[in-house]
Homo-oligomer: A and B are copies of this chain.
């Protein structure tokens, strides 16, 4: 989300494709409840505390900033939705499209930077 917000301020076009456990972050309320995975758990408390002190926007706020720029498109992976039984109505309204791997590949092949995060 930091990269998306930074990219939108540089007037770059951004496409974010969410799949597997990443897809679950698009469910309403999920980003606000997100925790770090076990490996990075020891960093969680200090990070949340310090980011708050630094008045850093939250992940969902950054998503909305990038979205407001008109440069961000968000894709939810269709087979993952079927696999986890997630319905369109459960996703945040900022999702633009429900799409499969072929869509991801077509977009990525035109991009200047592609990151698998």
Interface residues of A (CB under 8 A from B): 2-3, 5-7, 9-10, 12, 20-21, 37-40, 43, 46-47, 50-51, 54, 56, 79, 82-85, 100-102, 104-106, 108-109, 111-117
CB proximity of A89 to chain B, nearest CB, Å = 20
Residues of B within 8 A of A54 (CB): 79, 82-83
CB proximity of A117 to chain B, nearest CB, Å = 6
Contact in complex: A105, B113 (CB < 8 Å): yes
Can you tell how many copies of this chain the complex includes?
3
CB proximity of A41 to chain B, nearest CB, Å = 9
Interface of chain A, helix or strand or loop or mixed?
Answer: helix
Contact in complex: A113, B102 (CB < 8 Å): no
Instruction: Identify which of B20, B40, B116 contacts A115 (C-beta below 8 A).
Output: B116
Instruction: Identify which of B38, B43, B50, B82 contacts A21 (C-beta below 8 A).
Output: B43
CB proximity of A2 to chain B, nearest CB, Å = 5
- Given A2-B101, A39-B39, are A47 and B83 neighbors across the interface (CB < 8 Å)? yes
Residues of B within 8 A of A47 (CB): 83
- A–B complex contacts, Cβ < 8 Å, 30 sampled: A2-B79, A2-B101, A3-B101, A3-B104, A3-B105, A5-B101, A6-B101, A6-B102, A6-B104, A7-B105, A10-B106, A20-B40, A20-B43, A21-B43, A38-B38, A39-B39, A46-B83, A47-B83, A50-B82, A50-B83, A50-B84, A50-B85, A51-B83, A54-B79, A54-B83, A56-B79, A105-B113, A108-B112, A113-B114, A116-B117
